[in-house]
């Protein structure tokens, strides 16, 4: 490694504070962008009376399944908020994220009413069956939840994007054109864009956690991947028939998970090789490490550090751009502080931003 950049050691508390401040900055950027670009309306935003009412049973089963999964938004949001309530940025984001997910449930509900022509009694019964059980957090700490959500959001986005392909008449099987439906296409594209935004937000937070607390982050990634499953499958009473429709239509399955979710997300986290992660964690567990530096060194061998540093610097650049455009840089600038992994790159990919203007009283 040529000319490593010397950086100050960061204590556990300093690492946590840097993560906290960066997440807050990202949250402010996210809300602004989502309000400007993705503030769509469920009832008025689609031509519901033109939604086809003669979709194939498998397509209707997918819609039913997506409605079911999005039905647990009160649990996804509420339990997450309670866990994250001490973090301003993360708990505020959780509420915003939950409000976007709630619209997805409303959208699929309209699809069952308009497209499936479900009588309200049937829908009320399904709601009651679904809500008989509540979703529980798959992990009890914020790092694990972030990485779980990275993989989950990308997988969800792919489900919707693949149903969009079917609605565009480009799905698998004989005569894919028979499923063409512009309203369903528009619905799927709209919420796939939301899921992509959710994925990217969690990905950015995941990178920041990896950058400031690499050893703990890698442990969390490995734990999450060891037993990853999409949410709520065990509590949706008719999940087996939904799962069959998912596999038959090819919108999601093990191959998509490994190729398009696992590999893509790991690569975007700069942690491409899962075997390296496992071996590294074993080595970390074998050496004591009071101040974290020894484990940082092992993590630096696992991660593509220059790639990660570039991505983290770009995330901060985005935050700084938002703060400069809104004046937040004057009252509450998010300062980039080099983390432990900065010692393993030859040079910083992005020069430090200009000093924020000083307020004159
Ligand atoms: Fe959603
Ligand atoms: Fe989502």
Distance 221 CA to ligand 1 centre (A): 22
338 located within any domain: no
- Work out the average pLDDT over 155-179: 95
- % residues pLDDT > 90 (the chain): 85
360 located within any domain: no
- Work out the average pLDDT over 199-222: 97
308 located within any domain: no
**Structural domain for 166, as ranges:** 38-275
What is the per-residue pLDDT across 274-321, written as a single tens digit (0 to 9) for each? 999 999 999 999 987 766 678 999 999 999 999 999 999 999 999 999
Q: Alpha-carbon distance 264 to 311, whole Å? A: 15
Distance 194 CA to ligand 2 centre (A): 7
What is the per-residue pLDDT across 344-361, written as a single tens digit (0 to 9) for each? 998 888 766 555 555 554
What is the per-residue pLDDT across 22-76, written as a single tens digit (0 to 9) for each? 999 999 999 999 999 999 999 999 999 999 999 999 999 999 999 999 999 999 9
Q: Alpha-carbon distance 207 to 7, whole Å? A: 19
What is the per-residue pLDDT across 40-51, written as a single tens digit (0 to 9) for each? 999 999 999 999
- Work out the average pLDDT over 217-226: 96
**Whether residue 5 has pLDDT greater than 50:** no
**Whether residue 255 has pLDDT greater than 90:** yes
Residues 6+ apart with CB under 8 A from 117: 53
Distance 270 CA to ligand 1 centre (A): 26
Q: Alpha-carbon distance 192 to 151, whole Å? A: 15
Which one of the ligands is nearest to 198 CA?
Answer: 2
Q: Alpha-carbon distance 236 to 130, whole Å? A: 6
| Cβ contact 340:214 at 8 Å | yes
What is the per-residue pLDDT across 77-130, written as a single tens digit (0 to 9) for each? 999 999 999 999 999 999 999 999 999 999 999 999 999 999 999 999 999 999
94 located within any domain: yes
Token code pair at residue 25: 């900055």
pTM exceeding the 0.75 threshold for the entire prediction? yes
Q: Which pLDDT score, from 0 to 100, does residue 207 have? A: 98
Residues 6+ apart with CB under 8 A from 252: 155, 158, 159, 162, 246
223 located within any domain: yes
45 located within any domain: yes
Distance 270 CA to ligand 2 centre (A): 22
258 to 97, 113, 146, 249: CA distances (angstroms): 26, 34, 19, 18
Q: Alpha-carbon distance 341 to 305, whole Å? A: 7
271 located within any domain: yes
266 located within any domain: yes
**Selected residue with higher pLDDT from 230 and 107:** 107
Distance 232 CA to ligand 1 centre (A): 13
Distance 56 CA to ligand 1 centre (A): 23
Which one of the ligands is nearest to 67 CA?
Answer: 1
The CATH number of residue 64's host domain is: 1.10.620.20
What's the domain count of the chain?
1
Distance 195 CA to ligand 1 centre (A): 6
């Amino acid at each position: 490694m040529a000319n490593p950049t010397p950086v100050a050691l960061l204590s556990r508390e300093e690492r946590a504070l840097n993560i906290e401040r960066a997440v807050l900055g990202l949250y402010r950027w996210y809300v602004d962008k989502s309000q400007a670009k993705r503030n769509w309306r469920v009832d008025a935003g689609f031509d519901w009376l033109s939604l086809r009412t003669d979709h194939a049973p498998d397509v209707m089963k997918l819609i039913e399944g997506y409605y079911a999964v999005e039905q647990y938004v009160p649990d996804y949001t509420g339990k997450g908020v309670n866990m994250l309530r001490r973090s301003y940025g993360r708990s505020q984001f959780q509420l915003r994220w939950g409000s976007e997910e709630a619209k997805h449930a409303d959208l699929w509900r309209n699809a069952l009413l308009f497209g499936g022509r479900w009588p309200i009694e049937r829908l009320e019964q399904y709601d009651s069956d679904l809500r008989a059980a509540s979703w529980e957090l798959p992990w009890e700490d914020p790092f694990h939840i972030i990485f779980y959500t990275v993989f989950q959001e990308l997988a969800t986005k792919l489900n919707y994007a693949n149903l969009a392909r079917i609605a565009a008449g480009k799905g698998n099987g004989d005569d894919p054109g028979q499923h063409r439906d512009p309203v369903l296409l528009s619905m799927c594209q709209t919420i796939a864009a939301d899921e992509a935004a959710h994925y990217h937000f969690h990905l950015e937070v995941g990178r920041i956690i990896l950058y400031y607390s690499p050893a703990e982050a890698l442990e969390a990634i490995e734990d999450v991947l060891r037993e990853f499953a999409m949410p709520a499958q065990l509590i949706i009473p008719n999940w087996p028939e939904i799962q069959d429709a998912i596999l038959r239509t090819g919108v999601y399955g093990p191959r998509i998970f490994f190729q398009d979710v696992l590999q893509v997300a790991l690569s975007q986290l700069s942690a491409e090789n899962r075997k390296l992660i496992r071996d590294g964690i074993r080595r970390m567990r074998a050496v004591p490490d009071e101040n974290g530096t020894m484990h940082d060194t092992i993590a630096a061998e696992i991660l593509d550090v220059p790639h990660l540093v570039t991505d983290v610097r770009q995330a901060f650049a985005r935050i700084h751009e938002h703060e400069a455009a809104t004046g937040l840089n004057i009252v509450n600038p998010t300062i980039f502080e080099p983390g432990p992994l900065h010692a393993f790159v030859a040079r910083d990919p992005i020069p430090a931003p200009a000093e924020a203007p000083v307020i004159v009283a």
